[in-house]
Structure formats: structure tokens, C-alpha cells
Chains A and B, each alone.
Chain A
Amino acid sequence: MFVMCKREFISLFKGIKSIIMIAILFAVSYYAAKFSSVLSSGVELTAGEAEDIHTIGLLSVILLLGQLFVFGLSHDTINREIHERTMRFLVTRASRSTILFGKFLGIWFFWLFCIVVSFLLISIFSKKFDLFIFSQTMSLVTYQAALAVLLSVLIPRPGYTMFLGNILGLMLPAFGFWAAFSPNGWVNWMKYFIPFYYLERDDFTFLVILGLAGMMLLAAYAVFRRREC
């Protein structure tokens, strides 16, 4: 699993897309933290919100564009290998669980690296490393990575996942917030399957997001273990 994880982790740093995304993430984190006093002066904030104001830039990017970023880089993590038949070399050497979970961990560590660096940049101005917000952010990224892996297993053609990934990446945050705050019973129940409901609380319910990610990964594995390569 370590070999697959390492390969996926390193491959995510290659390519112009990832460089642009990392640049956006770091730039937004740094400048939003740097000018957080300007942001806080314009709006009335509670003491807790004022304390976390340095992370607002990073959280906004992750909440609104995170899914798009993760899909952008990893929508084809499994299906491209099946489509191009390089997967044949992998499944004849390693178990399918090793391949799937190894790839997921590679994606997860890539985002862990990016988020840690972003938080370190923020800490230059906030003078602290907020572990709670960091954990919440990582739980959201875990969910997003698991969804990308699931999509890549369910849809065999990389072209389709790219298209669907872009649509979902843009729609999911909007839909998530709508489901979380809408009184409409037809939509409201869906909030339990989307991370935003768990993130708006200041307690450890965000851990449920990890459970959702785990379920998506198990579903992806159930499909992948029967998939012809």
C-alpha cells in the first residue's frame, strides 16, 4: 500500500493543474490571514469568530472550491488506469484493496501536506496552530477525496468523470449549504450525507464526516473488486 500511496502522492505534485491549485491555496491562506484585520473590521463578529478570522480565507477556499480542486486532480485516479489498461500491471501484482486504499492515501497525504503548509502560513499571523479547525478541514478533505475515488470507480471513462467532477465540484457546496439550512423536508434530510451540516457545529460531530468517507471508500472497494481491468 505504501508503494501505491507514495506513487500517487508524488504524481499529484506533477503537472500544471496541481501547481495552480497549490498556489491558489497558499496565496489565499497567506493574504487572507495577513489582511484578516481588514476583514474583521467590516463585520460584526463574535469573540470566537474573531479568534478564527485568520483561517477564513483557507476555509472559504476549501468549502467552496475544495471539491472542485480534489475532483480536478483525482477524478480519474482509478478509471484512467483501467481505461488505458495500465491497471492490468497493477492488479497482477497487488491486491485491489492495496491499489484502491493506497491511491486514496496518496491523495489524502497530498492534501494533508497542502493544508498543513497553509495552516503554517496562517500561523505566521495568528501566532497559533488551531488544531480543531485543522481537523475539521482535514475531515472535509477526506470526504472530498473519498467521493473522488468513488466516482472514479463508478464511472469507467475519465472524460465523463472530468465533466461530472466539475459539475459536482461547483454544485455540491451550494447544494450542501442549501440542504443544511433549508426547512424544505424534501431536501433537508440530505444534509446528513453532506459534510457542511456537521461542520457548522463547534463540536466533534465533524467526525461523522470521516464515517461517511469510510462508507464511500467501502462502496468503492465493493465495486472495484469485481471490476474487470
Chain B
Amino acid sequence: MNAIEAKQLSKAYGAHQVVMGMDLAVRKGEIFGFLGRNGAGKSTFINMLTGIVSSSSGTYSLLGVEGPDSKVLKRVGVMPDYSSLYGSWTALDHLRFFSELSGARASKEKCLEVLRSVDLLSHANKKAGKFSFGMKKKLGIAQAIIHDPELIFLDEPTSGMDAESVILIHRLIKEFQKQGKTVFMTSHNLDEVEKICSRIAIMRDGIIDKIGTMEELRAFYRSTITVKIKHSTVPKQEQAKLEQWLESAGSLLEHGDTYTVITISDENKIAEMIRAFTQCKTDVLRVEVEEPSLEEIFLNE
């Protein structure tokens, strides 16, 4: 069963179409990364799924229940973007109230345990109004998980956090996956998404432009595999032959006495290339393969 399923989900503000008939299925237990530039429609999409805004057309289901359904929201945790906490409430007050609103008031021990998991235990009785931006983000995550949800939406969970906290949140998200929970997250940090997400969707102008695992996304861009080869000096009589072979294999970027950089379209050519060097009486000392990063895929129009 899919944790999230959207069919032809759309949102329009007057004539302006923000999300255009989006189809998406997120499997249970996945950490799903949702990327897109500002204004691409990703927050609107999350907001439709979580009941913050209503959709203009289309349907969706969360955990197998067709939405919008307030009962299923009790099994879902949401850390919305651009939200603020109650300034005069302590971190504990927040967790007690939100757990109660989700149907089961969490015990003090449970609240403290969740605060510990986001490194806010020492601030349990501090008013949220006095929290730094990063601490507010952590409390936002804590309130999203206090009722032990099966599906967690995290909109930019680590933006504005220090490096140590980012690592902590990454570990926490991975822990959710181990517990069988599904995480749907957006981020502007491509490195973060690449590291922790099982699948990724890139949204552009209200539609999903690309979707898949990192491997699948890279498959679209195999033409940009860059191979850097460190080798022994190529004998003079073999130079022309090797150069000719390399030019036929791909796009030769650099070819020196002991160093060659080439881009190829098919990774199977790497082995052929090593053989070609050997046949030309040249020892291959080191091979570095650079695959397209998520950043390159993301920026590729």
C-alpha cells in the first residue's frame, strides 16, 4: 500500500495554476525527497495533502484513506513551513497540547523523550518565544512526532540549523525509516536529500519533472559521466592510436602525458578504455569516475 497517493491533484489561484494535475505515489517506509525551486509548487502540494489548503481538483489519499479526512490526520505528523509556535508556551506545553489534539495526551516522560531526541531536553520548560530559529525548527519536528505518526511531512526540516543539529535530524529521520514510518520531506539542501532520501521527485512549474532513486535519476544523465585517468607516460609510437581511440569513445576534455579526462555516455566503456590503455603499453594507475550530482540533475533544464 502506498502511504501517499495523489491523482491529478491541482491547485489554482484564479488564473494562476500553481500545481498542475500531479500524480504521485509514495511507498510506505520510504524517505521521499521533494525538490523544486522557490515557487515551483512543492509547499502548495504538501499543504494540500495536509489540509492547510484545499485542492482545486483531483484526489489524494494518505495511508490508504481518501482525503481530506480528519481521522487520518491523527496518524500523520506535519512540520509545516512558515509556521510559528505559541510564544508564551513552553516546549512541554506545546507537546502536551498537540498530542492531546491528536487524540492521546502524551505523558511527561514521553514528551521529555521526544525533546531529548531533538536535543531540546534542557529547554523543556523554556518559553518558545525565547527559542532561536533552529530550536523552533526542532520543536516543530518534535510536535510532528509526539503522537507517534505513521507518516511524517517535514517541510524544510533542517534549514537554519547548525551543522551538528543537521546531523542529529538526519539520524532521526533515518531512525523513523527503521521504525517503518514514511517520511515526505522537502529541502533546499540537495546534498541532504541525496544522502538520506530513498526516492526523489523534482518539481518544476507545478508538475513533477523527474522522479526516481538517485540511480534512476543519474541514468538520465549518463552522457555526463566524467572519467579521470592517471596513467604512465604513453609511448610516443602509441600516442596517435590511443588518442584516436579516446576520441571515438567520448568527448576528450584533457589528454596529457600522464593524465586524461574524458566524458562518456555509457559506463561500460570504462573497462574498454582501460584495455585500450593497456594495449597501447600504458599502465593505468588510477581511475576516478564522477557521476552527475543531484545538483547537476536539479539544475539541468
Bound pair (A, B): yes
Evaluate contact between B52 and A88: CB separation under 8 angstroms: yes
Q: Which of A19-27, A92-100, A125-133 is near enough to bind chain B?
A: A92-100
Could you tell me the distance in whole angstroms from the C-beta of B129 to the nearest C-beta in chain A? 12
Number of A-B residue pairs at CB separation under 8 A = 56
Q: Which residue of A lies closest to B71 (CB)?
A: A95
- The minimal Cβ–Cβ distance linking A98 to chain B, given in whole angstroms, is 7
Answer whether A226 and B101 are a contact pair too, CB < 8 Å, given A85-B82, A89-B143, A93-B74.
Answer: no
Q: Verify if B203 is at the interface (C-beta below 8 Å from A).
A: no
Q: Is the beta-carbon distance between B83 and A89 smaller than 8 angstroms?
A: yes
Other-chain contact of B50, A3, A92, A225, A226 (Cβ < 8 Å): A92
B52 touching A84, Cβ below 8 Å: no
Q: Which residues of A contact B268 (CB under 8 A)?
A: none
Whether, in the assembled complex, B245 has its beta carbon less than 8 Å from a beta carbon of chain A, the answer is no
CB neighbours of A88 from chain B (8 A): 52, 78, 80, 82-83
Chain B interface mostly? loop
Say whether B167 faces chain A, with CB atoms less than 8 Å apart: no
B143 CB contacts on chain A under 8 angstroms: 89
Number of interface residues of A (CB under 8 A): 19
Q: Which residue of chain B lies nearest to A81 when distances are taken between CB atoms in the complex?
A: B86
Identify the A interface with B (CB < 8 A). 3-4, 7, 84-86, 88-95, 98, 225-226, 228-229
For chain B, the count of residues having a C-beta within 8 Å of the partner chain is: 23
Task: Report chain B residues within 8 Å CB of A7.
Answer: 97
Please state if A92 and B78 are interface contacts (CB–CB under 8 Å): yes
Residues of B within 8 A of A225 (CB): 54
Instruction: Point out the residue from A3, A4, A86, A93 that lies within 8 Å of B83, measured CB to CB.
Output: A86
List of B residues within 8 angstroms of A228 by Cβ: 47, 52-54
Q: Chain A: which residue is nearest B11 at the CB level? A: A228
A95 with B53: in contact, given A84-B84, A85-B83, A89-B98 (CB under 8 Å)? Answer: no
Q: Are B76 and A92 in contact (CB under 8 A)?
A: yes
Q: Please measure, in the bound complex, the distance between the C-alpha atom of A94 and the C-alpha atom of B69, giving whole angstroms.
A: 9
- B70 pairs with A98, CB closer than 8 A: yes
Contacts A94-B101, A229-B53 given: A89-B73 contact, CB under 8 Å? no
B288 to chain A, nearest CB (A): 46
A95 engages B70 (CB within 8 Å):
yes
B67-109 CB contact bits vs A (8 Å, 1 = yes)? 0001001101010101111100000000001101110000000
Query: If the complex has contacts A3-B97, A3-B100, A7-B97, are A91 and B84 also in contact, measured as CB distance less than 8 A?
Result: no
